[in-house]
Structure 1
Amino acid sequence: MNRRRLLQYLLLLTILFSQGFFTGLLASDTYTWTGAGGDGQWTTSANWENDGPNGVPDLPPYDADVIINGNHVVILSIPTNYTVESVHLKNGAMLTIAFGATLTTRKGNVGNEGFTIESNAVLVLEGALNIYDLDANLDIGLFIDDLGSASIGVNGVLYIPDYGGTHDRTCAMRVDGSLTNNGTVLITNPSDRGILMGSGGSVTNNSSGAITVSGGFEGIYFRSSSSITNEGTITLSGASSKIIEGGSGWSLTNNGTLAGTGTIKSKYLSFGDGSSLSPGNSAGTLIFDNGSNAVNLNGVTLIMEVNGPTAVSGYDQIQITGSGDLKLAGSTLQLTGSYTPVQGDQFFLAISTGTGSVTGTFGGGPFQINNVSLTDLSNGGLEFGQFLPVEFTSFTARQAGKAVQLHWSTATEINNDYFAVEHSTDGRHFTVIGKVSGFGTTQEAQYYNFVHDTPGNGLNYYRLNQYDFDGAHEYSKIQTILFEGEDLWTIRPTLARQFVSVEWLEVPQSAATVEVFNVAGQKVYSQEAAAWASRLEIPVEDWMPGMYWVLVRDAGQGSARRFVKE
């Protein structure tokens, strides 16, 4: 008898400590939507039934697997920040996450997916949906099957991050059905693919939509008959393999902006007229794995960043690797960046590393970076190889009574016809106020001056536009000078520590703009003063000591006063 009892105890202990038993104990409860509460609200406990040991209506806890099955319409309203284990919509269910509401899935158990939409189910995302993988065991973050669909509104945000560790998910998001995006989709560091486009799946990224995938093995992978139409912005970067890859018979139609760094399988990629291509990420390379297929950039604006003289690290570059050509004819080049070219600089913005050729030239010229003109070398290159027509050695603006005296000098001049002197009161819109003849070609220093008799009250901007005999021109740097105006307002104290007050002697009948500039001409403060306001207080406690100018613009007129910060 004792021996039999001992065997029973041993058997019981074996069952208790078996992995399957404890897995069952620790498994998440499943909560199923019944809609018995009648109001369609996620946060009404009577709408749910716990399929676990309790079997009573109750709200799903943070570790619950949620199932909404059947033709139910469910709303997660504001203000709500709700967390569950996973969500499964199927058989015609519709879930709306309202603007201002947030739903978060922690790790997912049902089907190894964080959020599943299948069998004519619909997700309407106007708020935020976060899909996490805390246990690093998900296969798919968001799965939309061939009969499922999702729509993201302009304020909607879908966020699928990867917190690191050893993940086995096949993709952060898989679309076999349809997804329409008007908001934001952000996928970071997936262990494998960012987006997997299943056979027949479609994504429409409308003009307000932004899709970003960074990191992972592949950014977007296309299976046959899948498609993405982009009217907004798609940004892809950081993939260890390709940012766009696929099999056969898929399509990516870019009518918006396609940006990023990495390699694109381009056979089924097409660009619409008026679309944009933005290679790099603060300078980088976009590589077209084009095989025997041409890459045609007709009608495409190329947004290229130039921050230095070296390809990839300093400026953006487009490359092709196959035997097909890269066709630049009909494209428009838009240069941005902080670099000022020096003599001899060459920028090869488009090159071939395969047997194909770069044909045609960039449209949108003449090209400049920071007011430095560049020569189109054709076939994807620009050059700054000529001597400067005029080498400035100085340019200054000084007050002379009620006028402004401009002085400038040159070290050398080549084919210098004349200088157009330009003036502005807002720093954006300049008008020509005079011309000064140049000395043609000379290797000797030359000195020039010009007097502006009618400067405006407040801040005045001056620049020189130097013209060659062939019509080519180049701008100088801008000089500024402040003029104090009539006594319509005053500033106190003029020696300040914490605050400075702008006080009107007559209450203005319209709104005024108050701006503050340091001695270097940099704007450090801007504020609109309401109509009929007699006083505006400016906090200066954290400002650097020194002299400042306060400029008040009212009804198209400007005047300035100065004060000193202790």
Structure 2
Amino acid sequence: MKFFTSTLALVLIATVSFAQSVCPDYFRRNNGNGACSDGQLKLYYTTCPPSIPIIDSVYSNGVKTNITFASPDASKCSSQGFIGYCVVGGNMPPASTWAIYFHNPGSTDPFGCNVPEGGILPIGIKTFTATRNNNSVILNWQTAVEINARLFEIQKKSGNSFVTVGSIAAANKETGSSYSYTDISKEQTTAEYRLKMVSSDAAIAYSEIRVVRSAGASFDFTIFPNPATRNTKIALGDITQPSTIQVIDNSGRQVRSISVRSSSTIELSNLQPGLYRVRIVTNNSGEALTKTLTIVQ
């Protein structure tokens, strides 16, 4: 799953000699619940770390605190994005940013991270689809986590910008929720949609773009940005059967081949400067569409 946040960038504050060390995005805490009677620390990650870190110490304003934590509980990382640590001694400091030092199991190499509390807009989008049904476009999305969430605005491309066509209040459940919105659309052009996510303190983040073809039209896709510098994305429209994305360089050599089965956003990375043809072919019917991509220095 992927998380769309406006949190502060993390700074690695110690030399990392263990290749799998990963810093959390932000932390949240409480003063005690059923699982941890003396309090619990939750460290949230965009992607669960391959090794579950063990906390060695916590510093607040440059001063080491007296707090100690139990072994980590990673049972909720894949579903809710956090690793939990029960307090077993001392008190959690009030500072909004902690310097946390860890080590990974099987390693004695410490690493440290500056970790902010809360996160302005931690809303984890688990799935987001847009599908045409005659003269309507049905958007469905599911969140993996919602903290401090207030509103989802459904936005549609108009000219060179996106405009809001509807909104849904966020359930703001830490375990996530499911949503659906129907946009009446009789347009004879390809439509592009995204979600604008708004927190209770007016912070904003955006989802990936979903492309939907017009009623009765062939499938379509969008390349963005284009021109690009090495990396770009392909937003696929209503693909309802197995298809193949082909990336062909200016000499006619195929440099990428990607199989897809449904509407999604595909990232193309590390492309050399030059002119490319991006071609999508439906495997069953052979229907194909080609567009030009420019990679600049």
| Larger RCO: 1 or 2 (CA < 8 Å, sep 6+) | 2
TM-score above 0.5, yes or no: no
